[in-house]
Amino acid sequence: MTIVLREEPLRSEPGETLDPQNWDELRAQGHRMLDDMFDYIAHVRQRPVWSPIPDDVRARFRAELPRRPSDLAEVYREFSDNVVPYATGNVHPGFMGWVHGGGSAVGMLAEMLAAGLNANLGGRDHIPVEVERQIVEWTRAMFGFPQGASGIFVTGTSMANLLAVLVARTAALGQSARQHGIGEGGALLTAYTSKAAHGCISKAMDIAGLGRDALRMIATDQCHRLDVAALRRQIAADREAGMRPFLVVASAGTVDIGAIDDLVALSALCREEELWFHVDGAYGALGILSPAIASRLAGIEQADSIALDFHKWGQVPYDAGFLLVRDGQQHRDAFAAPAAYLRRETRGLAAGSSWPCDLGPDLSRGFRALKTWFTLKTYGTERLGAIITRTCALAGYLEARILAEPRLELLAPVQLSIVCFRYRAADTNKVNGDIVIDLHESGIAAPSTTILDGQLAIRAAIVNHRIDTCDIDALISAVLEFGARRASAQDE
């Protein structure tokens, strides 16, 4: 082998790092930034929920790669002028779209501290990993899982569900599937979820190499809960046809209307049929913290795995998805992969095995656990549970206002804190779709839409802890105003 030496030696200037020459200046700038962000959160109600992005602002983010340094104050001014006013808006109490949490100033501070430590939680022996293990332990206790359960932070529940499918796949096929691929045995695997399940489940089947066709979408009852009898029949039919049922994914809070499947019946069926029982609790699982909701999650403690988002009802800033697995060994079996450069020791920084990288595909991992640890410790689970209860009460308030208003129509039973409704009009799907866009553009409120039985619904997901009755009242008034305008425009 020929080693080519450089002709010119590389020179290093003494003291040339990215740290500031003048820490006092950076400190003053940093304090301004922090104060501004506190002000932003404290006074967010005075802003529009969302603002359309002007062309010139969008164009600023098509700029050339910066080769020369800029002053931090100048970069921050650009952020203040061009990023802050055009953010998603989910910090705002008028934001009720999709299923977004509101975050908190405490979570923001923790995120800043985590960035300062710049810890890599792929592995090794340091307290940030212990902080994540602490959350695993707390989550294990929340759901009554046994000792030996394992867990891991991921971006969101889409990823947590994917990991769960992979753990269940390896449990069904054994380690050889990781080496040789899923093979003929894998081609026979079938999984089950309801028609109301989130689309990331079928995406997970696709990414796991099992294919979306192998996911049977079981019918639901009127309340959008998986029809357990239909599931039983489908499993029997698949066995009869020579398929290998291996996984049931239940929903604890469906994305459309917040329905909770019958987790007791499903866990019993999975035990009987020897199937992996996974619960997609992205939105609803943290309802376990609310005395008003917890009993409706009965059966979740029997799951083989649970996916959930601390960034939704847990109010942790994005992102903080989480997967909990009952049998930690099965979890490790799906992902652990030895490598010379990741050698484990019994002493020193490379000690502390097993490492989080043994529990998922990521090696480099940020310190998501810290903002969750700060949130759980600062507020406590009772207060977080009370917030969850309150969002459900606010959904009840919105439901009552809809039922009392003849121009509005409720489109689905309110089960947790999601309310689906519409303005009564001739071309109802068009009118209601336009109403939602009008709401966004007005900056008054930001619900989203979904389709229920072919009908477009205005969908208000009350997840953000800042939402109050005045925000619900503002939503109703604006829907009525925009609805009347849209309907009369149709008549003309």
- Provide the binding-site residues for ligand PLP, judged by CB under 6 A: 99, 156-158, 198, 200, 251, 253-255, 280, 282-283, 309, 321
Per residue in 290-300, is it b (16+ CB within 10 Å) or e — as a string? beebeebbebb
Residue 254 or residue 417: which is nearer to ligand PLP going by CB?
Answer: 254
Residue 282 or residue 475: which is nearer to ligand PLP going by CB?
Answer: 282
* E strand map for 119-252: 150-154, 189-194, 215-218, 244-251
What does the alpha-carbon distance between residue 227 and residue 343 come to, in Å, rounded to a whole number?
48
Task: Please state the closest distance from residue 193 (CB atom) to ligand PLP, in A.
Answer: 10
Task: Please state the closest distance from residue 475 (CB atom) to ligand PLP, in A.
Answer: 20
What does the alpha-carbon distance between residue 466 and residue 443 come to, in Å, rounded to a whole number?
16
Task: Please state the closest distance from residue 322 (CB atom) to ligand PLP, in A.
Answer: 10
Residue 313 or residue 355: which is nearer to ligand PLP going by CB?
Answer: 313
Is the backbone of residue 468 left (phi > 0), alpha (psi -120 to 50) or beta?
beta
Task: Please state the closest distance from residue 269 (CB atom) to ligand PLP, in A.
Answer: 20
Q: Which residue has the tokens 């990993």?
A: 129
Task: Please state the closest distance from residue 415 (CB atom) to ligand PLP, in A.
Answer: 13
Task: Please state the closest distance from residue 293 (CB atom) to ligand PLP, in A.
Answer: 15
Q: Which residue has the tokens 């917890």?
A: 294
Indicate the length of the chain as a whole number.
Answer: 492
Residue 321 or residue 356: which is nearer to ligand PLP going by CB?
Answer: 321
What does the alpha-carbon distance between residue 394 and residue 398 come to, in Å, rounded to a whole number?
6
DSSP classification of residue 243: -
Task: Please state the closest distance from residue 97 (CB atom) to ligand PLP, in A.
Answer: 10
- Enter the tokens of residue 52: 């359309």
Task: Please state the closest distance from residue 132 (CB atom) to ligand PLP, in A.
Answer: 18
What does the alpha-carbon distance between residue 155 and residue 9 come to, in Å, rounded to a whole number?
42
Task: Please state the closest distance from residue 98 (CB atom) to ligand PLP, in A.
Answer: 6
Q: Is the dihedral of CA 348, 352, 358, 359 positive or negative?
A: negative
Task: Please state the closest distance from residue 34 (CB atom) to ligand PLP, in A.
Answer: 27
Residue 249 or residue 425: which is nearer to ligand PLP going by CB?
Answer: 249
Q: Long-range contacts made by residues 402-409, C-beta under 8 angstroms, separation at least 24?
A: 402/476, 405/476, 405/480, 407/480, 407/483, 407/484, 408/476, 408/479, 408/480
Task: Please state the closest distance from residue 280 (CB atom) to ligand PLP, in A.
Answer: 5
What does the alpha-carbon distance between residue 36 and residue 131 come to, in Å, rounded to a whole number?
29
Amino acid at 339: A
Residue 388 or residue 487: which is nearer to ligand PLP going by CB?
Answer: 388
Parallel, antiparallel or unpaired: strands 276-281 and 305-309: parallel
Residue 287 or residue 321: which is nearer to ligand PLP going by CB?
Answer: 321
Closest CA to 261 of 215, 291, 235, 230: 230
Continuous segment of H or E residues that includes residue 399: helix 368-403
Q: How many CA atoms lie within 13 A of 144 on its CB side?
A: 11
Residue 111 or residue 434: which is nearer to ligand PLP going by CB?
Answer: 111
**Counting runs of H as helices and runs of E as strands, what totals does the chain give?**
15, 11
Task: Please state the closest distance from residue 162 (CB atom) to ligand PLP, in A.
Answer: 9
Residue 201 or residue 384: which is nearer to ligand PLP going by CB?
Answer: 201
Residue 177 or residue 215: which is nearer to ligand PLP going by CB?
Answer: 215
Residue 353 or residue 448: which is nearer to ligand PLP going by CB?
Answer: 448
Q: Is 221 helix (H, G, I), strand (E, B) or coil?
A: coil
Amino acid at 171: A
What does the alpha-carbon distance between residue 321 and residue 160 come to, in Å, rounded to a whole number?
7
Task: Please state the closest distance from residue 325 (CB atom) to ligand PLP, in A.
Answer: 17
Residue 255 or residue 324: which is nearer to ligand PLP going by CB?
Answer: 255
Three-state SS sequence of 319-343: CCEEEEECCHHHHHHHHCCCCHHHC
Q: Is the dihedral of CA 486, 461, 387, 133 positive or negative?
A: negative
Q: Are 156 and 282 in contact (CB under 8 A)?
A: yes
* E strand map for 41-90: none
Residue 92 or residue 198: which is nearer to ligand PLP going by CB?
Answer: 198
Q: Closest-CB residue for ligand PLP?
A: 156
